[in-house]
Amino acid sequence: MLIVMKADATEADIAEVERVITEMGFRPHTMPGAGRTAIGVTGNSGPIDRVRFESLNGVAEAIRVTKPYKLVGLDLRPERTVVRVGDATIGGEEMAIIAGPCAVETREQVFAVAEAVKRSGVRFFRGGAFKPRTSPYAFQGLGEEGLKILAEVRDRFGLKIVTEAMDETGVELVERYADVIQLGARNMQNFSLLKRAGRSRLPVLLKRGLAATIEEWLLAAEYVMAEGNYNVILCERGVRTFAQHTRNTLDLAAVPAVRQASHLPVLVDPSHGTGKNYMVTPLARAGVAVGADGLIVEVHDHPERALSDGPQALTLAQYEQLVAEVRAIHEVIAPAPVR
Ligand code: PEP
Ligand code: MN
């Protein structure tokens, strides 16, 4: 159920609708919009009687939601969600770029990359302290030590930190040191992790699972939002197919598909989406051209020495070139408004 308030509904009208929903044992999710406020109802197992709401002051209509997701959909919020991270945004007019190494390896490595990211004018820095590796013998990340290095980067360069949490304890640690919680492809359907991230005050970057349909991915986002965290950013990072020329198949059609179904911002990850250095920039250009709200890219000061994902890491010079190229494309497809 979705309750749409009249444009002139008062705060008190909204509070009364929220009270009735809570009294019925359900949860209200209030989404203020440009023209009207909508209130999503979750927690009900069957249909709710519409009449109960339609008689309340300020209610325009009560709509039954037929899609499997309620909160991520455009019915609830026709305007696009802009996720604010301090003074930076994801999903707004500005193209968001998140750049940095796959993994935090050393302070020197991280600072060398962060310096280049800062110089490029990009606002977000990535780097994994907890790495989900296929082999238990591969480098697993520095853990909390890595998060401390990232926090130093935040202090020194003013970059916003995006880093992965692999479990609920990891979310707690990431909350202490970073700005955005990344949930990895392999954890897209780790429901207890999704729920924990849903109770966080930090925005969540939710990667698409290796074999997830768009609907499964949106329902994973719904898990986070149903807990009350509405700051979710989706990220297309490629899916498994028969293709052998790339590490994953970057599904760029997912970008318009998601934008057609949801108000949430969507980023493209051309690094994991291709796995190959020479393909990253061409696919980054394509991602921006197809309408993504931004990119997440892996950069290393010495890719040949990287402890994880070296083959897909851009050098600092390649990264600088990528930023210039995607900015030019973004300027053509979404010109900055003249103020
Ligand atoms: C990463 O961003 O380094 C990562 C592990 O990504 P994914 O979860 O998409 O594989
Ligand atoms: Mn990686």
SS3 of residue 232 by DSSP: strand
Q: How many helices (H) and strands (E) does the chain have?
A: 10, 14
Q: How confident is the model at residue 47 (pLDDT cuts 50, 70, 90)?
A: confident
| Residue minimizing CA distance to atom 9 of ligand 1 | 185
SS3 196: helix
| Amino acid (one-letter) located at 234 | L
Per the CB < 8 A criterion, the answer to whether 123 and 159 are in contact is: yes
Sign of CA dihedral 115, 116, 119, 124: negative
pLDDT single digits (tens) 265-293: 999 999 999 999 999 999 999 999 999 99
pLDDT for 338 beyond 80: no
Strand, coil or helix: what is 220?
A: helix
Residue 185 CB–ligand 1 contact under 6 Å: yes
Q: Mutate which of 125, 180, 269, 274 to test ligand 1's pocket (most atoms within 8 Å of Cβ)?
A: 269
With a 6 A CB cut-off, is 207 part of the ligand 1 pocket?
yes
- Give the start-end residues of each E strand in 208-256: 232-236
Residue closest by Cα to atom 8 of ligand 1: 184
Q: What is the pLDDT of residue 85?
A: 98
Structure letter (DSSP) for residue 7: T
Is the Cβ atom of 272 under 6 angstroms away from ligand 1? yes
For residue 339, is pLDDT > 70?
Answer: no
Distance CA 96, CA 124 (A): 8
Atom of ligand 1 nearest to the CA of 185: 8
At position 200, the amino acid (one-letter code) is S
